[in-house]
Amino acid sequence: MPCASLTKADLHLHTTYSDGYATPAQVVHHVIQHTDIRVIAITDHDEITGAYEAHKYAEGTDLHVIIGEEISTREGHLLAYFIHERIRPGMSAHDTIRAIHEQGGLAVAAHPYDWMVRSLGHHGLLTHAAQPHCFWQFDAIETLNASLRPRYANVRATHAAHTLKLPMIGGSDSHLLDTIGYGYTVFEGETPAQLRDAITLGHTHVNGTFWRMHDLMSAGSRLVQRTVTTMALRVWPHQSRTHHI
């Protein structure tokens, strides 16, 4: 029998619907034209509109788009995949995971040892997600997040996945077009359904590289520009609108 094909999936991408700097259409176009990624998940913060928009733009192409969301829970960020309705932020991790599963989705601990944002690894991941009394019933852990500094945070996440016997996924956590595909998940098959099966069975692998200092500086610079523009629109809304016209 011929060997099953291996496919790369970037499962952590942001668009202009949260804090990304590319529209869903730009993300889809870039992935198709400039990468060998063939499955992506749009995981905007507390929003799924961009994921649906990207899914629409990808119709008729060889790119598959998963509807996802990065949800801000009280204990830290949590990734949801294969959902169909937005899940509101601000709930406990336990209630958020339950809401994901009620939609038939997968719940994944995002960058659990990131020190720059509130993360589940610092709020009881190894305790709450442990068997036999599993309070946080995760389906997987993000063990490769290409944006993380220090990189040791991914090592800790990998250790947690092994300890908890949970599958591993990877993504770029890209907010820029240039960093899409830096981190990714490898699975046998080609479709989102086959990816889901691979995650569930623990048959995924992670690989990739990390954001370069240039990428971090570029993202930081654009964040400052966006903040200044937002403040200007609030303080001088009429003048700002006139200027853009």
| HEC string for 70-122 | EEECCCCEEEEECCCCCCCCCCCHHHHHHHHHHCCCEEEECCCCCCCCCCHHH
Residue 211 and residue 199: Cα distance in Å, rounded? 25
What was the pLDDT predicted at 213?
56
Residue 184 and residue 9: Cα distance in Å, rounded? 5
What was the pLDDT predicted at 218?
60
What was the pLDDT predicted at 116?
87
Residue 85 and residue 120: Cα distance in Å, rounded? 23
Q: How confident is the model at residue 229 (pLDDT cuts 50, 70, 90)?
A: very low
More confident: 216 or 181: 181
Phi first, then psi: give them for residue 206, nearest 5 degrees: -115, 150
**From residue 116, how far is each of 80, 90, 111, 130, 149 by CA, in Å?**
21, 18, 10, 25, 9
Mean pLDDT score, 37-63: 98
Q: How confident is the model at residue 216 (pLDDT cuts 50, 70, 90)?
A: low
Q: Identity (one letter) of the amino acid at 169?
A: I
pTM of the model: 0.87
Q: Please identify which residue in the block is written with the tokens 């619907």.
A: 17
CB 42 within 8 A of CB 11: no
Mean pLDDT score, 181-206: 98
What was the pLDDT predicted at 215?
54
pLDDT tens-digit profile of 147-181?
A: 987 779 999 999 999 999 999 999 999 999 999 99
DSSP bridge pairs for 184:
207
Residue 231 has pLDDT above 80, yes or no: no
Q: How confident is the model at residue 241 (pLDDT cuts 50, 70, 90)?
A: very low
More confident: 233 or 173: 173
**From residue 53, how far is each of 2, 16, 165, 177, 191 by CA, in Å?**
36, 11, 35, 17, 19
Task: Give me the chain's average pLDDT, please.
Answer: 89
More confident: 221 or 107: 107
pLDDT tens-digit profile of 131-146?
A: 888 999 999 999 999 9
pLDDT tens-digit profile of 53-109?
A: 999 999 999 999 999 999 999 999 999 999 999 999 999 999 999 999 999 999 999
What was the pLDDT predicted at 148?
84
Residue ranges with strand state E in 3-46: 6-13, 39-42
- Which residues 6+ apart lie within 8 Å of 21 measured at CB? 175, 176, 177, 219, 222
Sheet holding 106-109, edge to edge: 168-171, 140-145, 106-109, 77-81, 64-72, 39-42, 6-13, 183-188, 205-208
Pairing of strands 106-109, 140-145: parallel
